[in-house]
Structure 1
């Protein structure tokens, strides 16, 4: 008994499984076992308690709950693996079981025709298909090589554009610094000019005003005294004309005589003198206005002390041996001209600062990997599709004939969005999305309108080509059935 078991085990190891639909690296899972009677048997892969006769594999009856007994048929609804096509001379592949033996030659997956092994009728085309693939691969690799060179040139232009913007920003910021210094200098000139143009009258204005006020007070006092004097004169005049000379009153006669002498010698110069004084003050004020002030400060006298003597001599020494630099800006402009020039330069400064902000926004914008869209800043992509002439400037906007579709908004997730186009009749404003694909270009290859007034553009060009693996090329490869 033991001897028979050892022999059966040895025989099972010598038997090689060759189950259709199973890849070479998984054939060991379908290795048959041999019992004492020499019968082949096999266990379901996910449930070894289920034992099947080896001829139950691929018998079009699903015996295992996991479907592992039917790798080469479509008998099980949920098979764990796909059908393996060996495709000798090309690349092995896997096909879904529901496509097996359906009368269709799926050469793009199973070029050897093994997916139709029961029905037949599908010749092995792997040799021709592989030849087509090699031609496609060589053509693509040659294109990708040229596209890579062109893409690097485009990236270089983009980097140069960014470098120029940085240089422009540095230049603008330098101009701003120079302009600010110039404005400050002109303002100092204006201040110095105002100080230099300050008149003696400006310095003595309060004294002129005080003197005029004082004279006015004196004038009122004089007029008051004059009023009293006139009243006294009236009394004396009445006395001199109505007294009785027959009384021979010596005192009265003396008073009248002195009054008459006073009247005959009276002068009308007091008020004239005051008037002339006012005129002199007015003339002095006008003259003072014409005279510039030297700016010399009045010397204040103080009582000497030890502390102020030390301060005085210290200041004297520092002023003599450590003189402070004095910057004096002189100008040939008048004060009004300086103010006008400052205003003009400040307007220029405002424009420069606006330019700087625009450049900073540009530099901080996302223009794709390697900043590549920057290379297309001045490039217009034009094409007639469907009877419409399209003009696309990637970083500005899109138009359809004379209709504006939208202006650049942002680059995100490999696409550009455009908004705020012309309003559609009885609809929203036009907008657009542009996506990119690898190819010769830049060229507009398709336009669609999936939503009302929202357009979808596809642009191809070398700038959007990336290195491809053989697997990538195989996935994109299309068979030319006319040659099969």
Structure 2
């Protein structure tokens, strides 16, 4: 019995207060009964000076169980719960620090009875409740992920369909352009029409010029006739002026022969106009023959490369001033109309495709889960309402309903170690005499989307704590 008692006493004496089990081996005296400071091996002290309530080692390693050294740490075993460390200056201060030492070992003489069993029970209950919230949150998160997966699959399908539709219209547009692009033969035919059109313009100008000259001469003639008629009627024969008398007689003879003279002049004018139109007829005939020769067909071929008859008619009508000179043939108008329709549709489809591709490639967090978070939440924090639209924006709304944009959704950040998802919002409205606003949303696990706190650690930089199913991750075993 005596030997057993002595063994227990020796074991108790070897256990150093305030030192965790894994480090007890560091507190052994040498053969001379001395011990070396852990952080300062050049300092050796007598082993019995450990925990003597006087700080001998600069690192405080000689006083792990007292408050003598400010840099020391006191180990709390907290049997049945979680062990922890307490700053040495709190040891034996007369205060039970149960938040760190639930076993009360920081105060001597049993001043603080152990509460570890009670705290373990409370911890287990809180952990169970928290894990239950996580479990329910994960169930909702799985549904959100499924929705996001479906939306992403649908988006990919829509992009594929749009790309195919764009390709189809591009091929049709290419075909129309190829049909309208003239071949070597067609270019030659077009050249004939252009030459003919130029000749018609020249001919029209010549006729207009001659008609203008004719009208000018007629006006001069009428003015002269009026002067001579006045002179002839009012001539006084008592004045024996040979020159005037001769002029009056000449006008009387002119008046008698006026009808014949006009007929002769009209005949000359008609001949000139007839000659011009005969020139037109010859040019049209020559042009038609040349076009048919270039087209490689005879008069009996009714399959038109160009509608010669309607084109000639349009040119002649233009020459006569009854239609638009550059009127296009019907087939060309229809082709141009279809091209315009296709080009407009391609613009719309390409815009739609660009929008969908940008959405597909945007950062929506792990497994693109935010793709399904297209809703907004509003919660009152302090004097303001805060509106969070997950993939759009964050706004601060005052009591008058005036909204200030804190930021637009830009990207996500995920901390693998902490299993925490953050949403980054930037490019908000500019603060008065300050920077542009921005915000970080820190997601926590919750069954519902709720804004629980808003802080402004830096001017115009906001931090929102938000509970949401998408902030839930698998619980860590306690």
Same fold (TM over 0.5): yes
Q: Tell whether the 8 Å contact from 2:189 to 2:294 is kept in structure 1 after alignment.
A: no
- Residues 339/404 of structure 1: CA separation in 2 closer, same or farther (3 Å cut): farther
Q: Tell whether the 8 Å contact from 1:410 to 1:417 is kept in structure 2 after alignment.
A: yes
Paired residues for 1:216-255 under 5 Å: none
- Correspondence for 2:16: 19
Instruction: State the SS of the aligned residue for 1:334.
Output: helix
Distance in 2 (CA, whole Å) between partners of 1:164 and 1:385 is 38
Q: Tell whether the 8 Å contact from 2:28 to 2:35 is kept in structure 1 after alignment.
A: no
Distance in 2 (CA, whole Å) between partners of 1:58 and 1:273 is 141
Alignment of 1:134 with 2:127, yes or no, is no
- Correspondence for 1:441: 448
The TM-score with structure 1 as length reference comes to 0.64
- Residues 406/184 of structure 1: CA separation in 2 closer, same or farther (3 Å cut): farther
Q: Tell whether the 8 Å contact from 2:393 to 2:425 is kept in structure 1 after alignment.
A: no
Q: 1:281 aligns with which of 268, 279, 282?
A: 279
Distance in 1 (CA, whole Å) between partners of 2:402 and 2:345 is 36
1:133 is displaced (CA, Å) by 1.0
1:370 is displaced (CA, Å) by 1.8
- Correspondence for 2:425: 417
- Correspondence for 2:392: 396
Instruction: State the SS of the aligned residue for 2:106.
Output: helix
Paired residues for 1:57-456 under 5 Å: 57-79=50-72, 82-117=73-108, 120-191=110-181, 195=186, 202=193, 205=196, 276-286=274-284, 293-294=291-292, 296=294, 334-376=331-373, 378-399=374-395, 400=397, 401-413=401-413, 414-421=422-429, 430-451=437-458, 453-456=460-463
1:32 is displaced (CA, Å) by 5.1
Instruction: State the SS of the aligned residue for 1:446.
Output: strand
Q: Tell whether the 8 Å contact from 1:405 to 1:432 is kept in structure 2 after alignment.
A: no
1:271 is displaced (CA, Å) by 10
Distance in 1 (CA, whole Å) between partners of 2:161 and 2:467 is 37
Distance in 2 (CA, whole Å) between partners of 1:448 and 1:207 is 80
Distance in 1 (CA, whole Å) between partners of 2:65 and 2:448 is 46
- Correspondence for 1:55: 48
Distance in 1 (CA, whole Å) between partners of 2:407 and 2:287 is 64
Distance in 2 (CA, whole Å) between partners of 1:206 and 1:462 is 77
Q: Tell whether the 8 Å contact from 1:200 to 1:291 is kept in structure 2 after alignment.
A: no
Paired residues for 1:471-482 under 5 Å: none
Distance in 2 (CA, whole Å) between partners of 1:289 and 1:426 is 79
The TM-score with structure 2 as length reference comes to 0.64
- Residues 276/201 of structure 1: CA separation in 2 closer, same or farther (3 Å cut): farther
- Residues 15/389 of structure 1: CA separation in 2 closer, same or farther (3 Å cut): closer
Gaps (5+ residues) in structure 1? 1-10, 36-40, 213-268, 300-327, 472-484
Distance in 1 (CA, whole Å) between partners of 2:43 and 2:434 is 67
